[in-house]
Structure 1
Amino acid sequence: MQQVYGIVSAAGDKQDGSGFTVKKNDTGIYQLTWNTSFKSVPGVAATIVRLSNQWIPNDGINVANVTNEGCAVYTMGSPKNEYQDRDFSIIAIGE
């Protein structure tokens, strides 16, 4: 079983964890790449975390384009649900 986990800041910096690199592509859009490819597509979950005072009730997060090589994470905020930079945690588990 392979596990990847960590915390990513709104700026796109890995704050904690192991097994991945992260690149911030645009406002609220992050690309994660696994250091070691999974044998098949892993299960991935992410949640907004509060590393600073930026959390509001309308914050949201989506994980998309999951492959054995990585995934995209989209964070949203504001009443209009526009892409916004947010801190988040990530975990991926699989073979």
Structure 2
Amino acid sequence: MDWLWTWSGKCFGYRDGDDLWTHDGRHVGRFSGDTVFDRKGNYLGEVMNSDRLIRKSNPPSVRSSSFTPWAKRVGYVKYTDYVGYMMYAGYEDFPGPESL
């Protein structure tokens, strides 16, 4: 289990295998390499710098297979937030866990 933060430094949740979970225990994405897709197979974002989630401003037209989210897990107390990184051109911050 690897904890992840948004590019702006907000604690999002964690990666468990190929699945993305929010800190409150919701299964919201599936990874294909470092790229994450939502349950409908749409591009959600990607991992950069090993523990930060970010998304392209103009999402690529790549899709993945859809999936049925796992049942909600017991949540974890989230880690503290970090200082955000300077945004790369052509990217935007990954959505917060409350919006997914």
Q: Give TM-score, length-normalised by structure 2.
A: 0.29
Which has the larger share of strand? 1
Q: Greater relative contact order: 1 or 2 (C-alpha under 8 angstroms, separation 6 or more)?
A: 1
Q: Give TM-score, length-normalised by structure 1.
A: 0.30
